[in-house]
A and B are shown apart, each in its own frame.
Chain A
Amino acid sequence: MSVLKKLSQMFSGSDSKQQVAGETVSEDPKPSDSPSAFAEEPPVHRRVIQASVIAEEAKASGSSDQILIKAEPSRDYEQCKFMVNRPLFEGHSWLFSNFEEAAGSPLAEAVFSVESVETLLVHESTAVVTKTGAKGLSDWEALAKEVGGVLRKTLKAETDLVSKDIVAKIPAEEVVKEEIQKVIDTEVNPGVAGHGGNITLTAITGNTVTILMGGGCQGCSAADLTLKQGIHGAFRKAVPYVGAIYDETDHAGGLNPYYR
């Protein structure tokens, strides 16, 4: 690129990375094999595309007579997922927001007996725990050992892990779908529309909800906040029997994020 062109770009405020038609486009700096550094060279604009990753999710595995539990904290250490080679709550999911809600569910009672456990989400063969206090890797290492211990002890007892009252509360999938869609249409989407965003319900499995964040929400730096404080709150307030809520958005592929 010529010096004149670079100066012109600097004063026009354009950067080497541009948002063109909503995609990240970089100005491709040619290798310095041109005869003159001042030679006029048209910039090459390339779109950065994402290839899907071929990966296997970490799962507890081993012989079926052993109870194996694997702990995996989230990248921000806000929560820790426990993957068990046994079903914990087949076909459904449930969020225990506090100790009181754990009453009658041996699995939740056991987990809440561990100091500093804040919430527990149970889904199929995974349990996701949040904690109070410090949340570094070493904090989770200590807590995970205790949680793993009580999970194993409860599983060995071979009782119903989740209260039958909870199972009775969960309506048919069609009802969950209808009510969640209503919340999306009347509360969530009008709220995010101001930022050019939209939320789509992609799947209901039992009482587990999967959504896709589109428009300005896809790739937005505040998407996690919107999801956890806005969408989770709206769903759980209007549909109290909703279990896990998953966001399957590829935020790296966002075309026009609101915040970047």
Chain B
Amino acid sequence: MPKLNRFTIEIETGETGTDLPVHFTINNHKMPLEDTQGGVGPAETFSGGFEIGSFVHSLTLVGPESGQWDVRKIKMDYDCEHTPPYSVVFDTVTLDDTTEVNIWQDPPLPTWDV
């Protein structure tokens, strides 16, 4: 597992939005996102990030404290040590006060032309 220096997240909200702040968990520690922009209302786009500087066992986006949150798309940009930066897009998911969604993906496999 690589050391994650920093990640940025861009969240597109669907029909049902929620309230700020948006929290994530890193290895089960709940944190607010930093450098945030935008909103999490219906059809709004929100972005943020965090300097992690640690090894990731789990990374999740935490659901709202109450009600539901329709997430249309989550785009993650990862900056890991010894690995070129990479991005992953997660598909639609609905979160509530009982759920959090995984937002960690291992770096892609090396691929080259032969």
A contact set with B: CB distance below 8 Å: 16-17, 26-31, 44-55, 58, 60, 68-75, 82, 137, 141, 144-145, 147-149, 252
Q: Residues of B with Cβ closer than 8 Å to A?
A: 23, 25, 28-32, 58, 60, 62-63, 71, 73-74, 88-93, 95, 97-102, 105-106, 109-114
Q: How far is the CA of A252 from the CA of B101 in the complex (A)?
A: 12
The 3 closest A-B pairs by CB, nearest first: A148-B114, A51-B90, A51-B93
Q: For A74, list chain B residues within 8 Å (CB).
A: 109
* A70–B111 touching, CB < 8 Å: yes
| Main DSSP-derived SS at the B contact region | strand
What is the bound-complex CA distance between A45 and B62, given in angstroms?
A: 11
A48–B98 Cα distance when bound, in Å, is: 9
* Interchain CA distance A46-B25 in the complex, whole Å: 11
Determine whether the beta carbon of A46 is less than 8 Å from that of B109: no
Q: Which residues of B contact A70 (CB under 8 A)?
A: 111-114
Are B114 and A47 within 8 A (Cβ)?
no
Query: Given contacts A50-B101, A53-B90, is CB(A71)–CB(B111) below 8 Å?
Result: yes
Cβ B74 vs Cβ A73 within 8 A: no
Q: Which residues of A contact B93 (CB under 8 A)?
A: 49, 51
Report B-chain residues with C-beta under 8 Å of the C-beta of A68.
Answer: 113
Q: A73-B110, A252-B102 are in contact. List 10 more A-B contacts (CB 8 A).
A: A16-B28, A28-B62, A47-B99, A48-B58, A49-B100, A53-B88, A53-B91, A55-B89, A71-B111, A71-B113
Cα A55 to Cα B87 in complex, Å, equals 10
Q: List 22 A-B contacts (CB under 8 A).
A: A26-B60, A29-B28, A31-B23, A44-B97, A46-B97, A46-B98, A49-B100, A49-B101, A51-B71, A51-B91, A51-B102, A53-B88, A54-B73, A55-B89, A68-B113, A70-B112, A72-B109, A74-B109, A75-B106, A75-B109, A137-B110, A252-B102
When chains A and B are docked, how far (Å) is the Cα of A183 from the Cα of B32? 52
